[in-house]
């Protein structure tokens, strides 16, 4: 099976793989406007924190193209682009990569003459796209080094963190693929990731296509396989990481971390540096997206609950840093993650940026 690509830029159009139909139906959305991209993000046609960031960057290019067609200049142009960025920020409030990418594009808008703006935005979006690809490779290498003295590893992962969630080989799944490449991986347990089954529909599809040995689990089976001694480590992605290491990720991650701690199993988070939000001290400040109740009330287009039953449907939960063994980034591995170690990490990167 040919590897699937989350998005690509084609002649003033952002082409997005519609992930809502996977694995049974492969189709693509051709986004011609910023609104098209925002809708795709809201509906989870485009998902995964890094991929959302890249998609948002290209969406700002589409906004600039539309503004040019509308012959907007001066304050009218700036206001139009500001509203486009605001709309994109509202599409998924938890994933910080989205906000980071939009800030990068806004910096371009601030410093670029109007007549060069579209080209400058496209150049920055393409650079963010390429940076994500390289970042995934570095995360994979850094993560695999954590297991360099281990063979026949059995790992457990949650949600989807592969090529479908990024524009490279993935974050947590990138580490898994690297270990498979090094012939050190025996098995990967894949949580279904309810209620939208990103693990079953997406991660299982990617691992099967790559020839990685894997077994699909319902989310509530994870504790039992840990109890049986079949899990050497848990590795997941992240949508936002606070300054103290508290990490927001797909709902169900916190429960896995608690289970891993009880069974004395290392718990790893793999994410790019852009996932850190240094403006918040702890995970208590992270906004958790609440999604449509029908995602829980319905399954496979059939009612699975009373139509009027009240539903609590958070898309994410927050794992306290105390439960995280290490955070794997493209720059380094932070172990243990806490306010002090992450502050040192941030300062070292700021120092490198000043001198490069």
Report the catalytic residues. Answer: 239
What strands lie across the sheet with 267-270, from one edge to the other? Answer: 214-217, 185-191, 153-157, 233-236, 267-270, 326-328, 333-334
For residue 79, the tally of other CB atoms under 10 A from its CB is: 12
Closest C-alpha among 252, 245, 340 to residue 286 = 245
The 10 Å CB-count burial string (b at 16+, else e) for 47-74 is: bbbbbbbbbbbbbbbbbbbbbeeeebee
DSSP letters along 286-345, please? SPPPB--THHHHEETTEE-S-TT-----BSEEEE-GGG-SEEE-SS-EESS-SHHHHHHH
Pairing of β 316-319 and β 247-250: antiparallel
């Amino acid at each position: 099976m040919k590897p699937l690509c989350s998005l690509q830029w084609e002649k003033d159009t952002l082409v997005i793989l519609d992930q809502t139909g996977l694995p049974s139906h492969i189709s693509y959305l051709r986004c011609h406007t910023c609104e098209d991209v925002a809708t795709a993000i809201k509906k989870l046609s485009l998902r995964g924190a890094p991929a959302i960031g890249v998609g948002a960057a290209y969406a700002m290019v589409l906004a600039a193209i539309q503004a040019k067609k509308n012959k907007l200049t001066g304050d009218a142009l700036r206001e139009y682009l500001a509203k486009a960025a605001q709309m994109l920020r509202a599409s998924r409030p938890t994933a910080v990569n989205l906000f980071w990418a939009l800030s990068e594009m806004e910096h371009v808008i601030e410093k670029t003459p109007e007549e060069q703006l579209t080209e400058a935005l496209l150049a920055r979006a393409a650079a963010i796209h390429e940076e994500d690809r390289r970042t995934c490779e570095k995360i994979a290498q850094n993560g695999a080094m954590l297991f360099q003295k281990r063979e026949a590893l059995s790992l457990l992962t949650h949600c989807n963190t592969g090529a479908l969630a990024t524009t490279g080989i993935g974050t947590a799944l990138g580490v898994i693929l690297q270990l498979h490449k090094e012939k050190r991986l025996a098995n990967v347990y894949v949580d279904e990731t309810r209620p939208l089954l990103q693990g079953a529909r997406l991660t299982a599809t990617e691992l099967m296509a790559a020839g990685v040995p894997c077994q699909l689990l319902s989310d509530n089976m994870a504790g039992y396989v840990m109890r049986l001694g079949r899990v050497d480590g848990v590795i997941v992605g992240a949508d936002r990481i606070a300054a103290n290491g508290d990490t927001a990720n797909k709902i169900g991650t916190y429960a896995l971390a608690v289970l891993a701690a009880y069974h004395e199993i290392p718990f790893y988070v793999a994410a790019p540096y852009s996932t850190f939000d240094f403006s918040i001290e702890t995970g208590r400040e992270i906004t958790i997206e609440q999604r449509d109740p029908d995602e829980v009330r319905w399954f496979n287009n059939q009612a699975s609950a009373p139509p009027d039953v009240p539903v609590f449907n958070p898309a994410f939960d927050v794992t306290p840093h105390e439960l995280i063994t290490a955070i794997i980034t493209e720059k380094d591995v932070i172990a243990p993650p806490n306010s002090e170690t992450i502050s040192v990490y941030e300062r070292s990167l700021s120092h490198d940026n000043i001198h490069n």
